[in-house]
Chain A
């Protein structure tokens, strides 16, 4: 793996070897705060990145460098001002909402740092939700969900409760279970091990390694260097895409 701060590898040299699952070209982003005097916050310029099937790439860079922003742009959660972002053939910067929703259902998973759920929905149903959206039979989906909750050491007595009152680490594990319920070909992970103890962190790293082995293309943000080294094949420093930075 490249040391953080090393320049990103030339995507074209990799392109000749394998077909990319995630590919960014000339991507730029700035925020305009209209109600704060129209302040312009340039965050990213000329971002290049690609992730092949079976590969795990780490996004590195200082706090505020734009790692989460870039990840949200790939998920279609933030808009992109310049460049293209292709995920499995869909350009998320230009796709219609229903195409993005379909991509998210079938092809692109995202595990953010925050769990967002409908209040009162039991944990096991929250985890099964991605499979239900794909039209899987309910009992099958719930079986998968229970298996994941068990693996991530969520006590069985909590499965039928809403996760809204769970601890930070428990909520994060529920989020991870949900993100792994469906075998997405592409997966985005924003600090998936941040508030986990050693045992659960090991479980998550194992799950990431398994996803790689089945051919998933994974892009991850890991503040924990040991975790990053354990699963990532290389790193891309987002600092290289800071507008005005010397590249």
Chain B
């Protein structure tokens, strides 16, 4: 099997400060990779470099495109990258406001992504949108409501529907359960797990919540000061951490 994503020597500095440095990993189809570390450790910098929101100083991000096989997303043209972002990639933001159009109805939020990839038939778009709202457990009679009328958990589920409706192959998630009540988080996690499995998605998940990665991620990278200090099978890294920083991180959590 060929990796969906091959990352080598990825670095990003902010002036003299390290954002992330020397990051390398392969991601295979269907795999979920978790990235953990305290705030400021470079998790979001790395994620944004991978998703094309930031330009790294150095390194390669090879993505296995449907049309042309492996392509370096760092050096491809901006329109090509934007096309990938609309089709094969999805980005779930921590704050649903960053990933939704708050002035557009729930159905419109989902339909818009479909239209961006060429969907034209209004009835079909509405049917697909309704279907997706159902899959993320939003009642069909809320399709014409705006996200501002939704709870935080509903907004996050709508953001997920908007992202997954085009059948992406790689989903970037930045603290997708942050800021939600614990019980709402659990439901969202269960939903994400089911969708990832059904759709065979690959995902890169940034979080500081070790319980979230334990439930969602197959593999884990631990970041400290911009560097990956430990990586491996998620439960192995959490239950038998080798690096002093990982041991500190794991032992600081009350219960997982």
- A positions within 8 Å CB-CB of B: 31-35, 72, 76-79, 97-98, 100-101, 116, 118-121, 132-133
Contacts and interface: CB of A to CB of B under 8 A. Distances in A.
B240 A97 contact: no
A35 B236 contact: no
B215 interface: yes
B31 interface: yes
Interface stretch (B7-15, B99-107, B167-175, B183-191): B183-191
Interface residues of B, number: 27
Contact of B248 (A35, A76, A77, A101): A35
Contact of B247 (A33, A72, A97, A119): A33
A59 B235 CA distance: 23
Report whether over half of chain B's contact residues are helix, strand or loop; otherwise say mixed. Answer: helix
B75 interface: no
A118 B197 CA distance: 15
Given A118-B193, A120-B187, A121-B190, A79 B218 contact: no
A77 B247 contact: no
A77 B239 contact: yes
Contacts of A118: 186, 189-190, 193, 215
User: Which 3 pairs from chain A and chain B are nearest by CB?
Assistant: A34-B244, A119-B186, A97-B233
19 contacts: A34-B247, A35-B247, A35-B248, A35-B251, A77-B235, A77-B236, A77-B239, A78-B239, A97-B219, A97-B236, A100-B233, A118-B186, A118-B190, A118-B215, A119-B182, A120-B187, A120-B190, A132-B197, A133-B197
A116 B239 CA distance: 13
Contact of A72 (B187, B234, B239, B251): B239
Interface string B230-251: 0011111001101110011001
Interface string B29-68: 0010000000000000000000000000000000000000
Interface in B135-190: 182-183, 186-187, 189-190
B247 A76 contact: no
Contacts of B240: 31, 72, 77-79
A97 B218 contact: yes
B156 to A, nearest CB: 16
B190 A76 contact: no
B54 to A, nearest CB: 27
Given A79-B236, A79-B240, A98 B28 contact: yes
A108 B32 CA distance: 21
A116 B214 CA distance: 10
Nearest to A121: B190
B183 A120 contact: yes
B187 to A, nearest CB: 6
Contacts of A33: 247
A145 B235 CA distance: 25
A103 to B, nearest CB: 11
A31 B28 CA distance: 31
B168 to A, nearest CB: 20
Nearest to B256: A116
Contacts of B214: 116
B184 to A, nearest CB: 10
A72 B232 CA distance: 15
Given A98-B28, A118-B190, A120-B183, A78 B218 contact: no
B232 A97 contact: yes
Contacts of A98: 28, 31, 218-219
A76 B233 CA distance: 8
A33 B250 CA distance: 12
